[in-house]
Amino acid sequence: MENKAIQGGEFLIRDTKIQDIFVPEEFTEEQKMIAQSCHDFIKSEVHPVINRIDDHEEGLMEKVLKKAGEMGLLGVSIPEEYGGFGQDFVTSMMASDVMGAGLSFSVAYSAHTGIGSLPIMYYGNEEQKQKYLPKLATGEFLGAYALTEPGAGSDANSGSTKAVLSEDGQYWILNGQKMWITNSGFADVFTVFAKIDEDRVLSAFIVEKDTPGFTLGAEENKMGIRGSSTRQLFFNDAKIPVGNLLGKRGEGFRIALNILNLGRIKLGANVIGASKNAINLSVGYANERKQFRSLLSTFPAIKYKLAEQVIRAFANESTVYRISKNIENAVKMYIEQGIEKGQANVDAQRNFAIEAALIKVYGSEMLDYVVDEGVQIHGGMGFSAETDIETMYRDSRINRIFEGTNEINRMVVSDTLIKKGMKKEIDLLPVAEEVWNEYKQLEGKPQLSSDFHERNTQYVKNFKKATLLMTKYAIEKLGRKISKEQEVLFNLADMMMQLFVAESTQLRIEKMEKILGMDISIHKDILNTLMYESAEIIRKAAADEIMNIADDADKSALRKAIDHYLYIDSFDLMESRRRIADMLIENNQWVFSNYYIF
């Protein structure tokens, strides 16, 4: 457990063993059955009616959600004593992954099973859990989460919704407004954040839909996820029973942040299913459409796009399940230490806030790439509102705003990691100092192993050194001002994100061959290409930082070190991409990881 339950952010300063990560190829038969149930539900119950859902057919989204509840798909994470399945964190992430193919339905599903239910599961008292969780697990109640206000988006704690205790002490009197609230049109139970009296920080309340003084605005007309219900909430002397305070007074901001961590990592999982759906649509069209008397799938330009879709989606999938296992291991460790299960989950997710923010950014930008190229492969048809890929293109865009914008999340990645290092919660500064002491002596290209796995492990170690060097330089140069220099934080975040994704993919593929005994011939092409692309992304971020803040006297040595650390051996890049695309084209669907049958 010592090696497995690492601290969040330690991926930058320590090695990870292949036996300490989880890969999708290890799913149990029970987990595969759950994945298949989720896939079959999306295929049979959601896709046939998705256009009607997007047209807001009265009661349809609610009906489909309740049907998912009847099948047990809403209670995957809820403990058995409250009517759920009580599955572990990895399994709950798998469900989010597969259900992600459900377009706007997946947004409603994720909101209900995540931010709509888990605040009560993690922070509710026993009476609140007994009252609400069994109904949320079955779909008798549907849930929503109300944090954002017209004047409080990324700065959530600046909200102005107020709560005061009634004279008889029986109710909280709530006044204020919320906006962009998912599932609001049909939700039965809302977690609402407000400040009590003149408190500086938020508190959280459980609010039922029929509460006097609580009303809804009209449905928002959105660019994408149109089937998702999004309304404003208005509280005009709304009377909330005093027992519906969730957690302690003033604990709301902490609840909100911790739930956001969960929402971020679940979004990273959610886009896996969406990306595979888009890739299947892309290759299916490329295998049917002819131009110049040849199928689109025979053109090298189209193969490039298909291969890049696969590489990025596979890398995202690898990273999500690595993080999921990290969190699950931490939960188990905390429980063994005597921490209550709900609090153990909260603590584990807070511990990995850096990784949660990281995968939210990578996953949302990965999906944007996949659907954008999907539209391009479809050509003019991709611009038609009659095609699913057009819907997916519009639906994808919100993911870079959901759960904190990608700009906020990039700052969370680098700023949080630096602060952890400054507080000596992780050994960032001593390890960075070692790199700092060697960088001016580097000459030429590094000595690399001829063994495939050892060479890729060396690449990752060098990516870390490049990132540590630039982190150390930024800290030395900027000091406390670093938290204000957002461009530099973005540069560091992109370096950390890309090396973590590359390492996660490298570890997965090595485990597939060495421990699981699988054929990884095509996965070698995926990893070779990913390592090359990761090196170039890290190089660009490092070069930007050097241009932004480095003294002229330091620029030459820094660039020489970056060139050394980011050196990649030559390989046939073009043929690697073509082989990846050819496998996709031959099978006419995603075949690079199978834990359910398409």
Backbone angles phi, psi at 140, to 5 degrees: -60, -40
Nearest by Cα to 106 from 281, 227, 282, 252:
227
Identify residue 511 by its one-letter amino acid code: K
> Would you state the pLDDT for residue 443?
82
Residue 6 half-sphere exposure toward CB, CA atoms < 13 A: 23
Domains of the chain: residue spans and CATH: 24-142 (1.10.540.10), 145-252 (2.40.110.10), 408-567 (1.20.140.10)
Determine the Cα angle at 250 with ends 357 and 82, to 5°: 70
Q: What is the DSSP letter of 220?
A: P
Nearest-angstrom CA–CA distance, 360 and 270: 10
For β-strands 171-182 and 162-165, DSSP reports them as antiparallel
> Would you state the pLDDT for residue 3?
42
pLDDT tens digits, one per residue of 188-208: 999 999 999 999 999 999 999
- pLDDT < 70 stretches in the chain: 1-5
Q: What is the pTM of this model?
A: 0.95
Nearest by Cα to 322 from 527, 515, 511, 75:
511
Backbone angles phi, psi at 404, to 5 degrees: 90, 130
Task: Using alpha carbons, list the distances in angstroms from residue 523 to 224, 307, 324, 412.
Answer: 34, 12, 22, 32
Nearest-angstrom CA–CA distance, 422 and 428: 8
Per the structure block, which two tokens stand in for 419?
């602060």
Residue 61 half-sphere exposure toward CB, CA atoms < 13 A: 30
pLDDT tens digits, one per residue of 129-151: 999 999 999 999 999 999 999 98
Contact 502, 51 (CB under 8 A): no
Per the structure block, which two tokens stand in for 326?
């990290």
Q: Which of 317, 403, 503, 510 is catalytic?
A: 403
Specify whether 403 is catalytic: yes
Task: Using alpha carbons, list the distances in angstroms from residue 416 to 61, 147, 232.
Answer: 38, 23, 32
Contact 331, 344 (CB under 8 A): yes
Task: Find the helix or strand (DSSP H, E) in which 175 lies.
Answer: strand 171-182
Burial class (CB in 10 A: 0-12, 13-18, 19+), 573: middle
> Would you state the pLDDT for residue 1?
34
